[in-house]
Structure 1
């Protein structure tokens, strides 16, 4: 296989970068439930059990409060003062949910907040610890998830506070049903999806809490990932008094950019024609080869994960097939090298050659590309797959199209997004930036009110580049000062983990304990242990993650499956996000309000 110098946009980005240069279960009594703490045992790859005690972060023990009225009485609670005329409770019934062998009874309240925000609030009948958590939705939302399902309560791996019914939880479809395009041209439904839906659902949930238990919640939280991460940051920016603590995972905060030029480039970069009329170039079989080569070049710990992909300068051309090769099954063709380089590197400005995007999928994320940046099925030698049907990124752009570009001077297409024109951002994406984006770095009101924010992102995310979360965190530091940001925010980057979970990394993590302990006991998060489990749920490996920019480093002694044998290491990459066309959206701004007035 031939080796050559870096090529195209990816090469320029790489050359520029080079030049710049817990888990465990605590005791739960009949009247007190605490959050998870550090410590526990791990079944290692060798079959032995080792103690992985790290940081203890136990939330305040609060007295359990039981229901003061019958669940059915909540059906008569008036919520029209929150959602307006037509808002109502549609049902209030008791049901049970079983998690890890524990059965919890809930008063499930469903309703609608006008015009069409369907919501559900799950109120524990006899296990409530005076805490409330709003749960974010993903994608473009459009469906009402079961608020009693622990699958919706992400980032709470093995946490009794969550699993044994300590929280009142709430979900919403954000004001529309399905992911069709009709709602994206409705002014009110645009606002409900952008910012209003979660806020009014939270107000309704708090009113129901007061009615059901005879008292208000003591602490309020928001937990979300992907668009739920955007919703989390939107709350901190628009409604800083709604929540005491927020966990925002892989936030689609840069909504305008994410669902147009970012996903759009994934389509054209992997197209035989360079636009949406072509077939895919890269398929799962060749992506597997690419990933194997990346891991061989970049993995820096015994578990084969990449601590910080930004520090690796792997070039896809290193596995390019020799000129004239007849068997290309074990190497990448020139077209495949170009496609991979474009996916990594992103577009560049035609006049300056500067990157047009702050980040693309990072090295090590390839294993998660099928179905997003590439077709989920098929082979390089098989039947060609059109990018419009085989690449999910195309569907994402199509679903959000009207919501993003309403108000633009003209309506571009996925092929005319201005990938090489820096003016595109200000001309086409600025109109709805003030509505949809959650990139305002000034969280002064949230911070001064005592709010705590945990950001996290999987470094192998195939949908949203971790570089955007890093860019937002840096913007917060630039705006508020690092010392102030350190008082109320932490960011964790998890090696090998895909979008909101999955991937080859250790995706089981409990950040709920961290945020509750920080809010309730002022115990600022330090290291957090992540876990890998097999299909039976047995823990097979553990390792810590540290607040950014530190990375976990294996000590060189003991079982590398065991978190106890890792320590905090110095950052591997110190280059801050350079200026790029979208930087204009990461500065303070007054958010746009539209539609009906929203109660505070």
Structure 2
């Protein structure tokens, strides 16, 4: 038999991955694994005990004590109020990682209209519960038995083999019709209440079904699910032991008004919603290629990724077409250059020059703009109205949530893209209701909670600079050393919104959060992976807690994550001041409608 070192570099990566998957499968079959990574997250700071690994008792599988059908009679009016009820409780089978796993699937409604589903494993429960976040403006009920609903759990056996009770909710409304946004109770259920009461219902069902409570509770979410995750840490600090918040839309109001609205304005031939798009898919690709050529390879490897976009100073004007160019397929017109600059730079106050946003889409994200800031069609195709851009639909869909109670209801053309007075006039009223930017997580820390934040550097929907500023605000409010005891931030080069992109999007943060919560092993390096269409690992790369970056050692195959080490930060300046910085100061969360238990 050949040794691992006798294989070629790519074969070594695949062999390591195969060995890892085999080991994890064995651990999961035993059903007493301590956590998804088997305790692989090491680090001497942030809560790790000194003198070696802490004492730890693995969790055994617990069987139900009643028939699944009995859960249909559980009273949940104490949680959701009058009108709340279980509608069904049946055993269903789901295919998870190729295996059949049986779940007691419970469906119901928490008044007034929070549809929810809880999946309780029949024979594989390892005493853990996870609430799953809902993206966008929600309005749909994800299947909690599917691994795809359990984000950031790549190769995690507790997920793959049905170790968690999981729950999901539509957060109080169904479908994408925005009429619900004018209902104060439904708006509150979306803002903060829906996930909390679903969690309370799930925990009540756990106690009834298994005859005991869960040992550990987690929240896993991305995008608005990341906002929901931070909302839980801020409003309900005792709900979860561990939280994974990916690409959080914590700055919900700014994100869904000024941020995406500026993309629409920047793209418009008229500067208004009456115009057509300026930059199209083919030219976004041209721009992306030039940006990567100028700024890629910051890890020391020829990987075509930007290790930290804040070190990139690319000027789109360098690829502007010559005045007498006969072919413009590989360059940008003057108008396209202006649009690209505006998207990168973001708006500034027309009078003071003050920045209006903490950050815009970063260098390296250009190809991911297609379908969001940029039409899917090419510049040689028929013109596309900016009202057809996804960014436009995002803004108009969230209007009532953001601007209810404002002096006047603005349109996408009239609110103040370049007027800093827009913030106090329009966004402060509902900021304490919808946003999840309060940096004081002292109650969550006191309850023993652990938090992992992560963001892809090439995110096309939410700038990672907002997440960085939130992390900085936590450090400024609570002290950096204190924050390191319970929170980590990871920035992943080349990865788009909640996954995808040219980077290494396959990452298991579920194992890291369970290791940290259950074994007091604070996460350090986290391995990320690229896979092919058959899910074979083709490359790997570690990411390190912010602000450290992965650095290629200079020897061995750069596709192999073993050939990287922790590098010094490439950028150390704090997030620049901007007009909405005060939104990242501590504040008292607002409530409305029926209060959550």
| Class of the TM-score when normalised by the shorter of the 2 chains | over 0.9
| Structure 2 unaligned spans of 5+ | 1-16, 41-52
Tell me by how many angstroms 1:38 deviates. 7.6
Task: Output the CA distance in 1 between the equivalents of 2:452 and 2:463.
Answer: 17
1:543 maps to which of 541, 544, 554:
541
| Residue matched to 1:434 | 432
Give the 5 Å matches for 1:53-64: 61-64=58-61
User: What is the TM-score when the length of structure 2 is the normalising length?
Assistant: 0.92
| Residue matched to 2:45 | none
2:135 maps to which of 133, 138, 157:
138
Indicate if the aligned counterparts of 1:59 and 1:513 stay in contact, CA closer than 8 A.
no
| Residue matched to 1:384 | 383
Deviations 1:218-250 (A, max 9, x none): 000000000000000000000000000000000
Q: What is the DSSP-based 3-state SS (H/G/I as helix, E as strand, rest coil) of the residue aligned with 2:243? A: strand
Q: How many residues align?
A: 561
Indicate if the aligned counterparts of 1:60 and 1:520 stay in contact, CA closer than 8 A.
no
Cα separation, partners in 2 of 1:360 and 1:181, compared to 1, 3 Å: same
| Residue matched to 1:369 | 369
| Residue matched to 1:316 | 316
Q: Is 1:559 matched up with 2:557?
A: yes
Tell me by how many angstroms 1:575 deviates. 1.3
Give the 5 Å matches for 1:105-124: 105-124=102-121
Give the 5 Å matches for 1:287-436: 287-300=284-297, 301-377=301-377, 379-389=378-388, 391-436=389-434
Task: Output the CA distance in 1 between the equivalents of 2:432 and 2:30.
Answer: 48
Tell me by how many angstroms 1:597 deviates. 1.9
Task: Output the CA distance in 2 between the equivalents of 1:540 and 1:94.
Answer: 38
Q: Cα RMSD between the aligned structures?
A: 1.6
Indicate if the aligned counterparts of 1:440 and 1:586 stay in contact, CA closer than 8 A.
yes
1:583 maps to which of 575, 581, 584:
581
| Residue matched to 1:462 | 460
User: What is the TM-score when the length of structure 1 is the normalising length?
Assistant: 0.92
Cα separation, partners in 2 of 1:425 and 1:34, compared to 1, 3 Å: same
Indicate if the aligned counterparts of 2:355 and 2:577 stay in contact, CA closer than 8 A.
no
Q: What is the DSSP-based 3-state SS (H/G/I as helix, E as strand, rest coil) of the residue aligned with 1:499? A: coil
Task: Output the CA distance in 1 between the equivalents of 2:507 and 2:62.
Answer: 28
Cα separation, partners in 2 of 1:445 and 1:173, compared to 1, 3 Å: same
Task: Output the CA distance in 1 between the equivalents of 2:536 and 2:595.
Answer: 50
Deviations 1:164-201 (A, max 9, x none): 01100000000001121211010100100000000000
Task: Output the CA distance in 2 between the equivalents of 1:331 and 1:94.
Answer: 58
| Structure 1 unaligned spans of 5+ | 1-21, 41-55
Structure 1 stretches (4+) deviating beyond 4 angstroms? 22-25, 56-60
Deviations 1:107-158 (A, max 9, x none): 0000000000000000000100000000000000001111101100000001
Indicate if the aligned counterparts of 1:320 and 1:331 stay in contact, CA closer than 8 A.
yes
Task: Output the CA distance in 1 between the equivalents of 2:160 and 2:330.
Answer: 47
Tell me by how many angstroms 1:101 deviates. 2.3
Cα separation, partners in 2 of 1:382 and 1:114, compared to 1, 3 Å: same
Indicate if the aligned counterparts of 2:34 and 2:518 stay in contact, CA closer than 8 A.
no
Indicate if the aligned counterparts of 1:289 and 1:331 stay in contact, CA closer than 8 A.
yes
Tell me by how many angstroms 1:482 deviates. 0.1
Tell me by how many angstroms 1:480 deviates. 0.3
